[in-house]
Copies of this chain bind each other. A is one copy, B any other.
Amino acid sequence: MRLDRTTSLLLIVDLQTGLLPAIDGGEQAVTEAAWLAGLSRMLNVPVWLTVQYPAGLGTVDPRLAAAAPAARRWEKVHFDAHQEPPFAKALGDLGRKQVIICGSEAHVCVLQTALGLLAADYRVYWLAEACASRRHDEARLARERVVAAGGIVVSADMVAYEWLERCDNEAFKAAHRDFLKPRATRPLRF
């Protein structure tokens, strides 16, 4: 039930320029998703990004694009990304069963994708500080529903320390210097 970096994937859902200004906690969601995307890059954990209806909702926030330049990108029409056959096929082929999910709106596309993944037997980890909706309380409701369906709520710090496992190697030292230490005193709403 702990996260393992060799079986993890970070999935960032619909953090798009046209949607974010309306989202309560949207700035924090982008900052923390980008932070974890940066650490993912250092630790060779794949990052995937989705967008919904980009003509109306805009492109991926540029801070995420910068933090995860090699991220695979998916455009979707279903709110649940896993209902898009190429996405489901590629995810199955990748063979990573622990999906850390975040994005907006928490109670629409993030929730539906999380439920789709759980139904397809993935382990879903809900990144609390980076799942956001127009109404904060509706994001909380989504989080409670995911937990009731078998998902696990995590913070980015939890993910990082589980991926790192121990403190006596170079990977930890680099991650601590570049990621953990700068984040340690940042105030966050979970």
> A residues near B, CB below 8 A?
1-2, 22, 52-53, 77-80, 83, 107-108, 111-112, 115-116, 118-119, 128, 134-135, 137-138, 140-142, 144-145, 147-149, 152-155, 157-158, 161-162, 164-168, 184-185, 187-190
Contacts and interface: CB of A to CB of B under 8 A. Distances in A.
Nearest to A109: B161
Copies of this chain held together in the complex = 4
Contacts of A144: 147, 153
Contacts of A153: 141, 144-145, 148
10 contacts: A1-B149, A2-B116, A77-B167, A78-B166, A79-B161, A135-B187, A138-B157, A138-B190, A141-B190, A145-B158
Contact of A157 (B108, B154, B161): B108
| 3 A-B pairs with the lowest CB-CB distances in the bound complex, closest first | A77-B168, A108-B161, A137-B190
A128 B141 contact: yes
